[in-house]
Amino acid sequence: MTVDTVFEIAAWGVLLVLALLAIFTLLLLGWVVWAYVVDVRQTQHTVRRNFPVIGRFRYFFEHLGEFFRQYFFAMDREEMPFNRAERSWVYRAAKKESTTVAFGSTRRLDVPGTVIFVNSPFPALKQDFAESGDITIGEHCRTPYTTSSLVNISGMSFGALSGPAVTALSKGAAMAGCWMNTGEGGLSPYHLSGGCDIVFQIGTAKYGVRDETGKLDPEKLKAIAAHEQVRMIEIKLSQGAKPGKGGILPGEKVSEEIAAIRHIPAHQDSISPNGHPEIRSVDELLDMIEQVRAITGKPTGFKAVLGDIDWIRDLCRAIQQRGSQCAPDFITLDGAEGGTGAAPQSLMDYMGLPLTQSLPMLVDTLDEFHLRPRIRVIASGKLINPDRVAWALCVGADFVVSARGFMFALGCIQALQCDKNTCPTGITTHNPNLQSGLVPQDKAVRVKNFVEGLVQEVGVIAHSCGVTEPRALKRQHARIIQPDGSSIRISDLYAEPAIQPANGFVAVNE
């Protein structure tokens, strides 16, 4: 190739680049003119009308702000619903990386409501460390459930979550030895794929166990309970993200497969009722629990968010009249901090009590009526870090469950796209291209690591408090910062609950 040929090729290359730049410039100018005309003539957006073309970038940067804040602008402890420090701990635990930090805590210790644990001058020694013992739920059922699992997977439906995400959770739960709640969307093959223990949730729409009219179908429920992996049944009254409103699954997510599992029409919005039509009182709740338990033979309880404690007192009085055998086998208490699931902001922000208030209220009321441990307490609501789990055990929870903690373990980046079909990590989307990035075999290991890391560090807190295992934590082992900056033991705020024998039901006269 001669020098002249090289220069000729280079010249043509320059001309091609210049031509492309000219075309791009013309297209850009054409778009600017078009946008200017549209903006000054439209009447819906004041900013675009007053500042044509430039005003459009406001919405672009506003959208990008959701993604850039957590990386460039927010401090470690600033974000909501979960800050960088909380998420980073989960990421490191899930990857089995070191969770130690240097040069001091970034957590402020003078904020009212902050929990501080009471270290013992004589911490538990390594030779005294103990594993959490077995707990039996529903010991009077035909098929009780016995488990030592401390941290478990809260309800997340197939449909809200993708098939690969549910598969990874199922496999990871089996590896970690914990249970997985199906959420209200029915029992899918993905839940069963890993061989883990399963809690089947009956939501207000009865997905998976409904007849043509939306009522509970006993035969379908019996078929669900026939799966050996299904160990308990949970009746969902409400959840933290939206107390008083049913589940929402957009029609674009309701595939043929999801429709078949839920027994609903495909490609239509799947909106659950905001309550169970057949449960309008505590007596009807107990009736439903007895009906489900009789059909399945398995421990049956309910999930709810507390707005007040009065109805729980009414429930306890109704159990007094019927006898403790009619009591729910467990109560899953969700705090208003709960966030999985799309919901109106008015409910997400303002409805229900946070777990910090409702858990002591529930435990104390059950203890007052001598219904513990006949009724086991499962706590839920932003319990993704060791301090929160340890606090819940101090207050009186028997188990904790988490949804978003396990989403982080799967790789969730808090992109706030859960209610759309655009989740960039493949967790809450049914777009095959986005799902392809989530490999269940790899993510299952992270789920297992997260459970093990969380239990281990809760154990570290317990041992520092002088007890041999996490469930030995009591209210005397934690203090809460008060508005004046001082701290007070939880046992001084709330009386230390006195657990009664499992079958030691005693009527309380009021």
Which DSSP string do the residues of 434-498 spell out, in sequence order? HHTT--HHHHHHHHHHHHHHHHHHHHHHHHHTT-SSGGG--GGGEEEE-TTS-EEEHHHHSPPP-
Note the pTM of the prediction, 2 decimals: 0.83
Burial class of 317 by CB neighbour count within 10 A (0 to 12, 13 to 18, 19+): middle
Whether 99 maps to a domain, the answer reads: no
Residues 163 and 55 in one domain: no
**CA-CA distance, 303 to 285, in Å (whole number)?**
11
Residues 296 and 148 in one domain: yes
Contact (CB, 8 A) for 216 and 489: no
Q: Residue 461: which pLDDT band, with cuts at 50, 70 and 90? A: very high
What CATH number corresponds to the domain at position 139? 3.20.20.70
| Model pLDDT, residue 317 | 97
**What would the mean pLDDT of 333-356 be, rounded to a whole number?**
79
Residues 350 and 419 in one domain: yes
* pLDDT tens per residue across span 275-294: 999 999 999 999 999 999 99
Mean pLDDT taken over the chain: 87
Whether 117 maps to a domain, the answer reads: no
Q: What's the total number of domains in the chain?
A: 2
Residues 325 and 186 in one domain: yes
* pLDDT tens per residue across span 176-205: 999 999 999 999 999 999 999 999 999 999
| Model pLDDT, residue 80 | 61
**What would the mean pLDDT of 16-24 be, rounded to a whole number?**
91
**What would the mean pLDDT of 493-508 be, rounded to a whole number?**
53
**From the CB of residue 483, how many other CB atoms can be counted at a distance below 10 Å?**
8
Q: Which of 292-306, 345-359, 385-399, 400-414 has the lowest mean pLDDT?
A: 345-359
Please, what is the Cα angle at 232 between 231 and 236, to 5 degrees?
A: 150
Which range is most confident: 40-54, 340-354, 410-424? Answer: 40-54
* pLDDT tens per residue across span 100-142: 777 777 778 888 988 999 999 999 998 989 888 999 999 999 9
Is residue 1 pLDDT above 70, yes or no?
A: no
Residues 27 and 173 in one domain: no
Residue whose structure tokens are 């086998």 = 329
Element (H, E) at 181: strand 179-181
Residues 55 and 142 in one domain: no
| Model pLDDT, residue 476 | 95
* pLDDT tens per residue across span 351-371: 889 999 999 999 999 999 999
| Model pLDDT, residue 66 | 61
Whether 97 maps to a domain, the answer reads: no
Whether 85 maps to a domain, the answer reads: no
Contact (CB, 8 A) for 351 and 439: no
Residues 247 and 361 in one domain: yes
**CA-CA distance, 505 to 20, in Å (whole number)?**
83
Residues 234 and 364 in one domain: yes
Residues 27 and 160 in one domain: no
Residues 295 and 200 in one domain: yes
Q: Residue 510: which pLDDT band, with cuts at 50, 70 and 90? A: very low
Of 30, 54, 73, at which residue does a domain stop? 73
| Model pLDDT, residue 64 | 65
Domain that holds residue 385: 126-493
Give start and end residues of each alpha helix (H) in 323-380: 345-350, 355-368
By C-alpha distance, which of 449, 391, 411 is closest to 99? 449
Whether 96 maps to a domain, the answer reads: no
Tokens of 436: 């392809």
| Model pLDDT, residue 345 | 75
Q: Residue 418: which pLDDT band, with cuts at 50, 70 and 90? A: confident
**CA-CA distance, 490 to 501, in Å (whole number)?**
24
Residues 37 and 174 in one domain: no
**CA-CA distance, 490 to 488, in Å (whole number)?**
6
Whether 91 maps to a domain, the answer reads: no
**What would the mean pLDDT of 238-249 be, rounded to a whole number?**
75
Whether 412 maps to a domain, the answer reads: yes
| Model pLDDT, residue 502 | 43
Residues 19 and 141 in one domain: no
Is residue 61 pLDDT above 80, yes or no?
A: no
Whether 104 maps to a domain, the answer reads: no
